[in-house]
Structure 1
């Protein structure tokens, strides 16, 4: 029976957040149940964009900081990694206030590269997944609770799509996006191949409405953790009063036999009903998952421009000054 730990949490203040995380992980055996001495531990937050700081589009740096502390104390060697659709990890963490906390911990930052890893699915056996994610000893998935104009919600399963390197994400939108069921299955197979050891959801302040970046912050006051990312996603759908049938990742998880029934999940701390949010806003209108070739080309050019022209020129200007 999968265990999902849920906790009312109301602050990103470091001492309070640290205490809340320790309490959250206690029913799961604490961080020591997942991290052993010498383990290389990838922390995979949601680092979607640097363009809307303060709008709660990404996982909060305070959460990453406290999780990294717990990993170090368990004897692990944490590092931060992601593969943003636009820009670089370094650019996004800088614009969203990560750097002081990262520098305080001397936390390495890794830009993901690609490698092909076979999945259990015949359809998606050619998925190109991050070498850094697949070869880490432990992967801790740190998603943000957000509404999503293409996928209704983005939670733990969708956050692992960030382990598909660079512009491959845009190409998957084009290749599989015409069929929402198939795209959902691709995301689920990605999550199954990566198999995160632990998922901790940042739900203290979420992002509702026209997410993943065009909505607004919403206080939710919840932290969640589980070794089973599918069960954890289901719990948050219950908290937000969202039918799993309208979330492509959840619907695909159910078809593939990976989404536990509500009655089959153990909640040792608080139940989803005790943390229910009755007024969470979903997108006003859904958008097609398929980007289409022109948008993919524009996206690829923008990524190239930011990574290889704009950011190097900015760094050069700082050196000159």
Structure 2
């Protein structure tokens, strides 16, 4: 194996119990140099979990709080200053995090939560030069991507690359569904270019319990017992497809990465622990229904209204009532 081959670290992990999970994560990152290889004292470190929705707590629609907590501890131990950030489909990052049990853990570590909705940064991309990413993401010293393994009614699967779409601020995501979603190839390429522009320093995937079926939120939890990590977000996604025995051609993101020369085949990766064939899942449930990628104008307007209602009316009222 050459040093040019991306390293994809894969392990079995069956528990979110904090001490066990922390030990598993330490072992997972050891071949990559440990957390100190990515985080230096004083670094501002963005932790980007999947904070999709607060509507289905317990259904494993989002990255588990325990994994985020352990990663944040490791960042702090390396001298970094971690903060959470996302731009959920509905509501605020804080509201979704609280609804899914994050609050005790983030309060214990004093983790700030940043909403990707204000400052924007224009990406440099020939085909997507009007795609804006959050300035909070681009200004971070280190970006750690923390996706969840889920099926997806529009994209077959949502993994590490798709999780970075949450760095598009506010409701711009719905408008991009409308603009680029008319062509699945263009939409896949947009997601790949988003990931390439952000270039996360490290990705750690939560596959201990995934979400199969009609995801990203309408499916059901499924125990997988897998965690993975890599500096190459495209290689990690491809390895996960191998584990789930999903044809890469059916996943628009992976197909786009292939066209753009960014895909990596398992034969060209280093696996310091387990290989994908050691973790095979032969009966992972893909969506039983399909939804078009593109959003029509009425749907975009409805989605935008719902987002603002939840974030600026419903969540503030709930927070006030809880005092």
Fold-level similarity (TM above 0.5): yes
Deviations 1:15-42 (A, max 9, x none): 0000000000000000011101100000
Structure 2 unaligned regions, length at least 5: none
Once residues 275 and 312 of structure 1 are traced to their aligned partners in structure 2, the CA distance between those partners, rounded to angstroms, is 44
1:175 pairs, out of 175, 179, 182, with 179
Question: 1:285 offset after TM fit, Å?
Answer: 2.0
Residue 257 (structure 1) aligns with: 261
1:118 pairs, out of 110, 123, 126, with 123
Residue 201 (structure 1) aligns with: 205
Deviations 1:58-86 (A, max 9, x none): 00000000000000000100000000010
Once residues 131 and 253 of structure 2 are traced to their aligned partners in structure 1, the CA distance between those partners, rounded to angstroms, is 17
Once residues 93 and 315 of structure 1 are traced to their aligned partners in structure 2, the CA distance between those partners, rounded to angstroms, is 13
1:96 aligns with 2:100: yes
Matched ranges for 1:277-296 at <5 A: 277-296=281-300
Once residues 249 and 102 of structure 1 are traced to their aligned partners in structure 2, the CA distance between those partners, rounded to angstroms, is 32
The answer to whether the 8 A contact 1:142-1:201 is kept is yes
Once residues 9 and 316 of structure 1 are traced to their aligned partners in structure 2, the CA distance between those partners, rounded to angstroms, is 39
1:218 aligns with 2:222: yes
1:163 pairs, out of 164, 167, 178, with 167
2:309 pairs, out of 301, 305, 311, with 305
Question: 1:114 offset after TM fit, Å?
Answer: 4.0
Deviations 1:146-192 (A, max 9, x none): 00000000000000000001100000000011100000000000000
* Count of residue pairs brought into register by the alignment: 318
Once residues 278 and 317 of structure 1 are traced to their aligned partners in structure 2, the CA distance between those partners, rounded to angstroms, is 47
The answer to whether the 8 A contact 1:114-1:164 is kept is no
Residue 239 (structure 2) aligns with: 235
Once residues 316 and 70 of structure 2 are traced to their aligned partners in structure 1, the CA distance between those partners, rounded to angstroms, is 31
1:72 pairs, out of 58, 73, 76, with 76
The answer to whether the 8 A contact 1:144-1:155 is kept is yes
108-117 vs 231-240, greater mean Cα deviation: 108-117
280-289 vs 110-119, greater mean Cα deviation: 110-119
Deviations 1:258-294 (A, max 9, x none): 0112211000100000001111000012210011111
1:18 aligns with 2:22: yes
Q: Secondary structure at the match of 1:259?
A: coil
The answer to whether the 8 A contact 2:121-2:138 is kept is no
Once residues 318 and 124 of structure 1 are traced to their aligned partners in structure 2, the CA distance between those partners, rounded to angstroms, is 43
Give the TM-score taking structure 1 as reference length. 0.98
133-142 vs 85-94, greater mean Cα deviation: 85-94
1:49 aligns with 2:53: yes
Q: Secondary structure at the match of 1:140?
A: strand
The answer to whether the 8 A contact 1:114-1:128 is kept is no
